[in-house]
Chains A and B, each alone.
Chain A
Amino acid sequence: MLWRKMLRDLKDNKGMYIACAVVMVIGLLFFTSFSMVLVNMEEARNNFYYYQNFADGFAEVKAMPVGEVERLRFVEGIKDIQGRLVKDVRVVFPGREDNVYLRLVSVDPGLLNPINGVRLESGVPFDEQGLSMWIDSKFYRANGLELGAEVEFVAEGKKRSLRIAGVGVSPEFIYAMRSAGDLFPKPEEFGIAYVPYQTMETFFREQGSVNSLVFKLAPGADYQAVEDRLKLELKAYGLKSIYPRKDQASHAILSEELEQLKNMGRSIPLIFLGVASIILYIMLRRMIENQRVQIGVLKAMGFTDKEVVLHYLSYALVIGAAGGIAGGLLGAMLSGPYTAMYRLYFNIPGLESRFLPASLLLSLALSLLFSGIAGYRGCRAVLTLEPAEAMRPRSPLPGKSVLLEKVTLFWNALNVQGKMAVRNLARNKGRSLFIAVGMTFTFALLAMSWSMWELSERMLFDQFEKIEIYDVKINLSQPLDRSLVERELSGFPGVKSVESKAEIPVTLINKWKKKDVVLLGLPAGSELHRVLDADYRQVQLPGSGVVISERLAQLLDAGVGTELTLESLMLKEPDSPPKVVVAGIIPQYVGVNAYMELEALQDMLGQGEIVTAAMLKIDERDLSLLHEKYRDAAAIAGLEDRAKMLRQLRELMGSYSATVYIMLLIGMVVGFAIVYNTSVISVAERSRELASMMVLGMTPSEVLAVIAFEQWFLSIFGMLGGIPLAKLMLVGLARSISNDVYTMPTALGMMSPAVAALFTAFTIWIGQRAAAQKIKSLHLADALKVAE
């Protein structure tokens, strides 16, 4: 029967309980969908890595004879090592203006279990004539290719073509980006092709040699020790870089994505479950207060404390179970489209959205745990309630003058309702606090979501509207002399200005902390790639020393004046790395870089006046001519149009805005749940007081005015408290979201407090409509009757 009582009580207050459960559902929806996607992705990735024999380490050299690679097998700690040619070529698609590139990766069809083996999705082995290739599935689909089709490309200035024999992917290119500067994969413009070595070597002048090595470690081998040994061996072949799996671009981005998913899967549900628990706790406490006579009766009848506590706990557990199941199921449903979204970016064969009963059970357990704790804390008061005492109506709270009355100017300005409201607030400190805290949460959630929207706009557009403001960037395939580059390009028709820059991969070290970054050498006072401080003032790069991004400073634990060690394979003498002093720290939201004045950098490297890229301002009319002329030049790796980049970013942000709207909606739902519940509780537990006012002759709207005044008054403090909370939440979110590609700023957006205040006010107003309904339906005689 107590079970029925509980169900009926829930039904009578369904609005409140549903509001609370919705908050819980949202939290668990995130939890389940995130954890299902995470587990599915991790499993698919691990399987893929395992079966395709993903490398433990990677090295790039200028050229190394194929025969020499075998010798490296005997280096201590190496289990297997393979050499290959990796070359980017431009694809010639008839009728297409844009630049499309393929990265040709040589493979050895004779190997049984090659390192980074290709998993074929469809197709056949390479043909005997050496005229076929396998192509990555994303590129294949994005460009509408077909098996058996010929693809034409330009290698070393000559047109070649290969037939598509198969479609597949290797673990190295799950997330295939052409360069670290790209923000996301563009499969229609860049893809991977796997070509038999015998075929590929004939296309390039490096015939008989390789320029890339992949290796597996022997069980128990230490990567660093192996790297040190390999460095010695590879030095003679022009070692450009050597790095472990964790720094491999595709793996690093996938790992960061999974890490982020894991962090968000923990923090977001925690926030929502926390809010839901607080609501539940307050609701139960209020309910127990209101049902004290019923509790007394139950105890008088002989129900034990345990039975009564269990009864009230069952309210919380039923809400928890309902929220857990609903949230879990919705999350499971959502994990399908969510996985599909990941499949757009990450090419992991076998990535399926599988339903995981364990996640659902965990979600249920989590909700029961949270609601159980909230419920137990909420109904603990039952234990101390003596039956005889419980049956007596509670003595009224003492009414006394409040501190604010001393502020005569304020006090006299209030009408009677206002005075009542202020005294009520002071008398019911617990309730006042709850309402204020609720509004703090609502405000903070809304401010945070809106801020994220504003900030992500700033994050991305600042980079390409204020910082990098060239029209075209030309990446060189190898370092060239600065004056040569600038002379060549400034003579091109339509070019208004030319600046060159050096992008040098380096390792910066501060004590035991180290970080691999690209060091940008920019000409003093560069107008095309500007270095800006937080207030968008141009920072002059000093003649010596290095300027680093905020995130880099944080990662290296460095401040202005810190001396960093700089290692780079581009140094003339890599064995005696120089020291550089941090001269300044600047905000950077896209990428993580260090900056140096170009000439200072060139001096430090000791390789002459080398540059690796050029930036141009050019007439739009002449842009296609520029592409035409340089896209097949051997010295040029690629051209980047800023306008195109911005266009792609806008598209990306367009799809992102949906996420922000959802966040805002969630913020409003949570806010509404809090404000609505506080209003309804407030009316319910004060029905006598409110009825008395109406009996005295006050109209329902005058009665509402008292409650409304209390809420508005509290909301001012609630919202003020919400500003630091929003900031805190942003910092937490930034910490879990920021990675080497994006660094999320943590300053509250300009508009967000205003927007949040507006939405919070709207929520309060809606909540008050609900309260008004309850007041209108108050049964005066019943409310004034004794006992309850």
Chain B
Amino acid sequence: METLITAREIGKYYRMGEVTVKALQGVSFELYEAEFVVILGPSGSGKSTLLNLIGGMDKASDGELYYGNTPLHLADARTLTLYRRSVVGFVFQFYNLIPSLTAYENVSLSAEIAQQPLPVREMLEQVGLADRLQHFPSQLSGGEQQRVALARAMVKNPRMLLCDEPTGALDYNTSIQVLRLLKEFCGTYGKTVVVITHNIAIARIADRVFYLKDGRLARIERNENPLPPEKVTW
């Protein structure tokens, strides 16, 4: 399996007045192609910070972070933008759709800037929203909005999907639906999916689980038999 991301002793520090807050320190790992990784940890453990670093939204203060052979920790803003554009797809807890664009348009917006986008309509059909194309975000339920957000991330045909609490604002049934889509994207298209959550149950569908605590990577566990999403309960 090809290595997508290599992190060596990375850290992220914020200065807040007199004190330096270490949001993340000494974290090392690899991410491989077509694997499903769940990052677990309580609030404030540094999950989102780590995701931001992997996604090129932020730069590490310490250590080395590579995408293939590209050093992300040294990259300039232009390179990072290009990286986000072509390699990464984001899914957020609160969907963050553009309120003034319809479902179809939100997905098209993303397709427009991708190098090899997947068909917009097909993506929306895949997430089960073929009949909601012309709806605005305000006319969609939370689960539907999150599925649009998923389609928007997937349509770019990224190598890696980064999801920050994608089910955090959803009920159980909708959550399972979203997780199934993520799992499918990983399996069918052979993409890497990273999901942040503090819901331990979700960890059971992952190939590997990263445990974060106080800004450090406590351990990495491999799941020999990941469960299909519909088998998971909480």
Which residues of A are interface residues toward B (Cβ below 8 A)?
Answer: 1-2, 4-5, 8-9, 12, 293-294, 296-297, 299-305, 307, 386-388, 391, 786-788
Complex: A43 Cα to B116 Cα, angstroms: 59
Complex: A327 Cα to B82 Cα, angstroms: 41
5 pairs across A/B with beta carbons < 8 Å?
A: A1-B109, A5-B98, A303-B113, A386-B58, A788-B99
A388-B101 contact, Cβ under 8 Å, with A302-B85, A304-B81, A305-B77: no
**Chain A interface SS verdict (over half):** helix
B52 within 8 A of A: yes
- Across the interface, A293 reaches (CB within 8 A) one of B58, B96, B105, namely B96
Query: Do B90 and A1 have beta carbons less than 8 Å apart?
Result: no
Chain A neighbourhood of B99, CB < 8 A: 294, 788
B15 within 8 A of A: no
- Across the interface, B86 reaches (CB within 8 A) one of A4, A300, A302, namely A302
Nearest CB to that of B110 among chain A residues? A301
Query: Do B96 and A391 have beta carbons less than 8 Å apart?
Result: yes
B57 within 8 A of A: yes
Query: Do B84 and A302 have beta carbons less than 8 Å apart?
Result: yes
Chain B neighbourhood of A4, CB < 8 A: 100-101, 105
Chain A neighbourhood of B78, CB < 8 A: 304
Q: How far is the CB of A527 from chain B (nearest CB, A)?
A: 75
Chain A neighbourhood of B230, CB < 8 A: none
Chain A neighbourhood of B100, CB < 8 A: 4-5, 8-9, 12
B41 within 8 A of A: no
- Across the interface, B90 reaches (CB within 8 A) one of A300, A304, A305, namely A300
Complex: A302 Cα to B84 Cα, angstroms: 5
Query: Do A301 and B101 have beta carbons less than 8 Å apart?
Result: no
Complex: A294 Cα to B100 Cα, angstroms: 11
Complex: A787 Cα to B96 Cα, angstroms: 9
Q: How far is the CB of B46 from chain A (nearest CB, A)?
A: 13
Complex: A5 Cα to B90 Cα, angstroms: 20
Chain A neighbourhood of B52, CB < 8 A: 388
Nearest CB to that of A307 among chain B residues? B113
Chain B neighbourhood of A1, CB < 8 A: 101, 105-106, 108-109, 112
Q: How far is the CB of B150 from chain A (nearest CB, A)?
A: 13
Chain A neighbourhood of B113, CB < 8 A: 301-303, 307
Nearest CB to that of B114 among chain A residues? A302
B55 within 8 A of A: yes
Complex: A788 Cα to B113 Cα, angstroms: 25
Query: Do A8 and B101 have beta carbons less than 8 Å apart?
Result: yes
B94 within 8 A of A: yes
Chain B neighbourhood of A391, CB < 8 A: 92, 96
Complex: A305 Cα to B82 Cα, angstroms: 11
B88 within 8 A of A: yes
Given contacts A1-B112, A9-B100, could you give 8 more A-B pairs where the C-beta distance is less than 8 Å?
A: A1-B105, A2-B109, A5-B109, A294-B99, A296-B96, A299-B57, A302-B86, A387-B57
Q: How many A-B contacts at CB < 8 Å in the complex?
A: 75
Chain A neighbourhood of B96, CB < 8 A: 293-294, 296-297, 391, 787
Chain B neighbourhood of A307, CB < 8 A: 113
Complex: A586 Cα to B106 Cα, angstroms: 72
Complex: A9 Cα to B156 Cα, angstroms: 25
B interface, how many residues as a size bin? 20 to 34
Interface centre among A4, A305, A307 (most CB of B within 10 A): A4
Query: Do A297 and B84 have beta carbons less than 8 Å apart?
Result: no
Q: How far is the CB of B57 from chain A (nearest CB, A)?
A: 4
Nearest CB to that of A304 among chain B residues? B81
Interface string of B155-199 (1 = CB under 8 A from A): 010000000000000000000000000000000000000000000
Nearest CB to that of B109 among chain A residues? A1
Nearest CB to that of A779 among chain B residues? B138
A300-B98 contact, Cβ under 8 Å, with A1-B105, A4-B105: no
Query: Do A388 and B81 have beta carbons less than 8 Å apart?
Result: no
Nearest CB to that of A308 among chain B residues? B81
Complex: A475 Cα to B160 Cα, angstroms: 98
B residues 45-74 near A (Cβ < 8 Å) are: 52, 55, 57-58
Query: Do A301 and B85 have beta carbons less than 8 Å apart?
Result: yes
Query: Do B57 and A388 have beta carbons less than 8 Å apart?
Result: yes
Q: How far is the CB of B220 from chain A (nearest CB, A)?
A: 24
Chain B neighbourhood of A302, CB < 8 A: 81-86, 88, 113, 156
Complex: A577 Cα to B9 Cα, angstroms: 97
Chain A neighbourhood of B77, CB < 8 A: 305
Chain B neighbourhood of A300, CB < 8 A: 55, 57, 84, 90
Complex: A386 Cα to B81 Cα, angstroms: 11
Interface centre among A2, A293, A296, A388 (most CB of B within 10 A): A388
Chain A neighbourhood of B94, CB < 8 A: 786-787
Chain A neighbourhood of B101, CB < 8 A: 1, 4-5, 8
Complex: A293 Cα to B95 Cα, angstroms: 11
Chain A neighbourhood of B88, CB < 8 A: 302
Chain A neighbourhood of B81, CB < 8 A: 299, 302-305
Q: How far is the CB of A135 from chain B (nearest CB, A)?
A: 68
Chain A neighbourhood of B90, CB < 8 A: 297, 300-301
Complex: A9 Cα to B98 Cα, angstroms: 10
Complex: A154 Cα to B110 Cα, angstroms: 90
Nearest CB to that of B49 among chain A residues? A388
Complex: A508 Cα to B78 Cα, angstroms: 70
Chain A neighbourhood of B82, CB < 8 A: 302
B residues 133-156 near A (Cβ < 8 Å) are: 152, 156
Chain B neighbourhood of A299, CB < 8 A: 57, 81, 84
Q: How far is the CB of A12 from chain B (nearest CB, A)?
A: 7
Q: How far is the CB of A476 from chain B (nearest CB, A)?
A: 79
Complex: A616 Cα to B96 Cα, angstroms: 86
Complex: A391 Cα to B90 Cα, angstroms: 12
Nearest CB to that of B48 among chain A residues? A388
Chain B neighbourhood of A386, CB < 8 A: 57-58
Q: How far is the CB of A767 from chain B (nearest CB, A)?
A: 25
Chain B neighbourhood of A8, CB < 8 A: 100-101
Query: Do A297 and B86 have beta carbons less than 8 Å apart?
Result: no
Complex: A286 Cα to B22 Cα, angstroms: 33
A297-B57 contact, Cβ under 8 Å, with A304-B78, A305-B81: no
Q: How far is the CB of B83 from chain A (nearest CB, A)?
A: 8
Complex: A300 Cα to B112 Cα, angstroms: 14
Q: How far is the CB of A716 from chain B (nearest CB, A)?
A: 38
